[in-house]
Amino acid sequence: MRYGSINLVLLCFYASSSFAALEIMTSAEKLSLNKIEHQYDINTLQIPVNDKLLQLDKKADEIVGLKKLIISEKQRYDELLVKLAELEQDKDALTDINKKIEASVNLVYELTLKVDQHSKRLEAKKTELLAEYEAIDTKIAAKNQLLFTLKTDIINRLITDLSKSNSTLPVVINSSIECSKYPSIADCLMKSKKKNLSNTVNESPFLNDKSILLSYEMMNASININGDLHYKVVMKFTPSYNNKIDSILNEKLGLKSAMLTLISDVSADWYINNTKIGTGKKLYHELPLGQHSILASYQKQNKSSVENIKGNGVINYQFNHTTATKKITNEPNMVAASVSKSINKRSDDAQMKSADKGYEYFMGVTPLSKKQNIEFTNEPVEK
């Protein structure tokens, strides 16, 4: 006796009069979804705003560069004063040194003025950008409210349809199994019944492990000389609303979210779309799929990037360590939309070395432990 694995399973759902109306989403509901998506095209709104955020990064870099020039010029000024004291008897040299000192003073003044002007413009732009993000957040909230309302309507319709006394789900399976040297076809088919039922329940969004099997009928079966048995089974179930339908609806309606793990080597303040979500070396934050700006701030240093979130992942901003940029990707769940940079205010001390610009991704990270569930409150794990 030898019993092999199922080589081919073709699972087909045929609509009966009671099942014909059983759809995850009807054409009218799909039309309502399209209208909401058209009315609130959030990605189109976010792209230019996120581009402005990257432009602010560049402006912040320019300010840091100017501050470094000021420090360098002040050092040069001090050196000129030393030379001035050494050349008291050389009038020609003194005249030249005095001109250089005057030029140095004027340059420091001009650079300081530029820093002040650029900083004021940067703060003004940041205020404008924050207002734009808040406007987008308002639209996202309005869109989500419409989507949740639509989801509620869909759920109510499904529950009503599935609760009807004549609501059934016919299923037809055409399959083949290897059962050579088996005592009989009937014995071989009996062994395959459990697998057939399991596959059917897994495949259908309207069935789960609590679904009731109303009938299981073998229509025909034949076996060839090699022991390959081909058969057809007709089953009938009582369908029901379950978590699989809810997951499908969330995905279709764009209500699916991802868990983002935010890591730093310091206890940083974390912002998503310019909204503070917590402080610490390691935070967990759930957010909708799509494009988001992420920023970490620590002692007037800031790092940010614009990310297209497609699944669970990790972002790691290092402030004190200079290491090579790492990207670890197991699945294409999250794609970096831009480089990570030091941005915005930066340190007033322009002698500060540029912080590391690296961050890394780990795909498919899902918090599992009780500790992680507690950390979802965004309280810092380490300080």
Terminal alpha carbon distance of the chain: 65
Residue 362 pLDDT > 50: no
**pLDDT higher than threshold 60 for residue 378:** no
Is residue 149 over pLDDT 80? yes
- Give the pLDDT confidence score for residue 89 in this predicted structure: 67
Give the highest mean pLDDT range of 6-10, 17-21, 277-281, 310-314: 277-281
Q: What is residue 281's predicted lDDT score, i.e. its pLDDT? A: 93
Amino acid letter, residue 172: V
Please tell me the predicted confidence (pLDDT) of residue 88: 67
CA distance linking residue 305 with residue 303, whole number of Å? 7
Asked if 382 and 280 count as a contact pair (C-beta separation under 8 A), the reply is yes
pLDDT band at 364 (very low <50, low <70, confident <90, very high): very low
Model confidence at 323: pLDDT above 70: no
pLDDT > 90: what percent of the chain?
27
Between 34 and 8, the more confident residue is: 34
382 — pLDDT class (breaks 50, 70, 90): very low
pLDDT for residue 315: 92
Map tokens 């957040």 to a residue: 137
Taking the mean position of all CA atoms in its chain, how far away is CA 135? 21
- Residue 228: pLDDT over 90: no
Residue 354: its pLDDT value, please? 33
Tell me what pLDDT residue 289 has.
Answer: 79
Task: Spell out the residues 6+ positions from residue 52 whose beta carbon is closer than 8 angstroms to its own.
Answer: 125, 129, 132
pLDDT of residue 70: 94
Highest mean pLDDT out of 65-74, 125-134, 165-174, 184-193: 65-74
**Calpha distance 30→98 (Å, rounded):** 78
- 320 or 21: which leads in pLDDT: 320
The overall average pLDDT reported for the chain is: 76
Whole-angstrom distance, CA of residue 148 vs CA of residue 253? 9
If you search the block for the tokens 């409150």, which residue do you land on?
Answer: 377
pLDDT recorded at residue 360: 31
Lowest mean pLDDT among 4-18, 30-44, 230-244: 4-18
**Among candidates 146, 137, 174, which has minimal Cα distance to 42?**
137
Give the integer Cα–Cα distance in Å for 328 and 361. 5
pLDDT at 48 over 80: yes
The stretch 178-189 carries a mean pLDDT of 71
pLDDT at res. 22: 66
pLDDT at 284 > cutoff 70:
yes
Handedness of CA 352, 357, 362, 368 (dihedral sign): positive
Burial class of 143 by CB neighbour count within 10 A (0 to 12, 13 to 18, 19+) = middle
Closest by Cα among 314, 328, 316 to 355: 316
DSSP labels, 254-321:
T--EEEEEEEEEEEEEEEETTEEEEEEEEEEEEEESEEEEEEEEETTEEEEEEEEE-S-EEEEE-SS-
Q: What is the pLDDT of residue 45?
A: 84
The structure tokens listed for 150 are 């639509």
For residues 170 and 12, is the Cβ–Cβ distance under 8 A?
Answer: no
DSSP labels for 41-80?
-HHHHHHHHHHHHHHHHHHHHHHHHHHHHHHHHHHHHHHH
> b/e string for 226-248 if b means 16 or more Cβ within 10 A?
eebbebebebbbbbbbbebbeee
CA torsion sign for 127, 131, 134, 136 is negative
Answer yes or no: is pLDDT of 273 > 70.
yes
DSSP sequence for 122-133: HHHHHHHHHHHH
pLDDT class of 11 with cuts at 50, 70, 90: very low
Q: Compute CA distances 114 → 66, 81, 172, 252, whole Å.
A: 8, 25, 76, 51
Q: Residue 266: which pLDDT band, with cuts at 50, 70 and 90?
A: very high
For residue 115, the Cα-to-chain-centroid distance in whole angstroms is: 36
pLDDT band at 218 (very low <50, low <70, confident <90, very high): confident
pLDDT digits (tens, 9 = 90+) for 330-353: 233 332 333 233 333 333 333 333
Residue 7 confidence (pLDDT) above 60: no
Global confidence as pTM: 0.59
